[in-house]
Amino acid sequence: MSNLRAAYGETLVELGKDNDKIVVLEADLGKSTMGCLFEQAFPSRFYEMGIAEANMAATAAGLSLTGKVPFMASFAVFCPGRCYDQIRTAICIPSLNVKICGSSAGLSDYGDGATHQSVDDIALMRVLPNMRVFCAADARETRQIVRYMAENDGPMYLRVSRADLPDIPGSDGPFHEGEPMILRKGNDAAVFAAGAMVHSSLEAAEELAGLGCNVTVVNVPSIKPLNHEAVRKIARSVPRVMTIEEHSTAGGLGDAISEALAGMPSPYRLGILDSFGASAQNYEVLLKAYRLDTDSIAESILAVAAGRPADELLRYFFISRQG
């Protein structure tokens, strides 16, 4: 198990040793996002903006115009949530070299409830022209993506979980923008997952293999851009496709895969159904309540592989969650 936030901060420190153009901006949450590690190493290149995310985004845009490579971070619900207009107008329209990290994403900030849980950040960032959107599945992938962001020009958004997550096979290799990664092959269905749901999908697939249901599991760290032909090739190899994400089923990974499969059968989308988050005693309880724990994912995959209608599944999951 390793922590994605720590990987983010540690990688910035490593990069900062060789590249003095890298600067880091925080909005009063550097001890959580782990931007504080960069502050300790390079205090003159760290900017504490206070609880002023809009100012942070505008300042990052200005720093990029001077040749700096700014990384700005906060909880994903606040960044992009509280500074969407500045990201859109000051960063994306001129396509400036600003890097954004949405930390404690999805339901992973389980104790603070709906106000602190980002279930819409991928949708907000994916719709913006010039913005690229990445979602790390583990700490090793976080390191690779942060390095890629520092080495390549343009606006980029990285989503990371608050939780400690197991390492994913192959995540220590170079990050390839746009490319889905097949982690496991099967003939009964294909599951496209992102972030914390990748490990859960792999665990579920292993459980189902013992029941004779063999599924392909695909990690999608690059949600935008996304290689549509690669997605279509995977979909053609199986009878059914589904997506799993710790995000609203509107505007996130599910929509990105659906767009890639235009003209082909639509995937079943498992995620958060038109609702906000909620408080819980721990992360696992919250995932179970939203049917995003390993056992619930296994049940969903099994139902999809068996060919149950997507609308029937949707009704069942909605009713069972509300009940």
User: What three-state secondary structure class fits 72?
Assistant: strand
Residue 173 lies inside a defined structural domain of this protein: no
Q: Is the pLDDT of residue 107 over 80?
A: yes
In a domain, 73, yes or no: yes
Q: Residue 193: which of 223, 162, 158, 218 has the closest Cα?
A: 218
Residue 83 has pLDDT above 90, yes or no: yes
What pLDDT does 170 receive?
A: 83
Residue 248 belongs to a domain: yes
Helix (H, G, I), strand (E, B) or coil at 299: helix
The token pair at 165 is: 């997550």
Beta bridge partners of 243: 192, 269
CATH code: domain of residue 132: 3.40.50.970
| DSSP string for 224-293 | ES--HHHHHHHHHTSS-EEEEEEEESSSSHHHHHHHHTTTSPPPEEEEE-S------SSHHHHHHHTT-S
Phi and psi dihedrals of 258, rounded to 5?
Answer: -60, -40
Higher-pLDDT residue of 308, 130: 130
Same domain, 269 and 218: yes
**200 and 129 housed in the same domain:** no
| pLDDT tens readout for residues 135-161 | 999 999 999 999 999 999 999 999 999
Q: Is 74 helix (H, G, I), strand (E, B) or coil?
A: strand
pLDDT digits (tens, 9 = 90+) for 1-13: 899 999 999 999 9
Q: What's the farthest any 2 CA atoms get from each other in the chain?
A: 59
Which amino acid is located at 108 in the chain? S
How far is 97 from 152, CA to CA, in rounded Å?
A: 8
The predicted pLDDT at position 29 comes to 98
How confident is the model over 258-316, as pLDDT tens digits? 999 999 999 999 999 999 999 999 999 999 999 999 999 999 999 998 886 544 444 44
Q: Which residues contact 52 (CB under 8 A, 6 or more apart)?
A: 27
Please answer whether residues 209 and 187 qualify as being in contact, where contact means their C-beta atoms are separated by less than 8 angstroms: no
Helix (H, G, I), strand (E, B) or coil at 132: strand
- Do 199 and 318 have their domain in common? yes
- Average pLDDT score over residue span 22-42: 98
Domain that holds residue 318: 181-322
Number of independent structural domains in the chain: 2
Considering 165, 198, 220, which residue would you say is the last residue of a domain? Answer: 165
Query: What is the SS3 assignment for 316?
Result: helix
Mean pLDDT of the chain: 94
Same domain, 193 and 158: no
Query: For the residues 97-102, what does the mean pLDDT come to?
Result: 98
Beta strands in 105-166 (DSSP E): 132-135, 156-159, 164-165
pLDDT tens for 112-127 read 999 999 999 999 999 9
Q: Which residues contact 127 (CB under 8 A, 6 or more apart)?
A: 251
154 and 266 within one domain:
no
Q: Final residue of a domain: which of 122, 141, 165?
A: 165
Task: Give Cα 59 distance to the centre of its chain.
Answer: 25
Q: What is the CATH number of the domain that holds 249?
A: 3.40.50.920
The answer to whether position 283 is within a domain reads yes
Residue 259 CB contacts under 8 Å (≥ 6 apart), including other chains: 228
Whether residues 159 and 198 share a domain: the answer is no
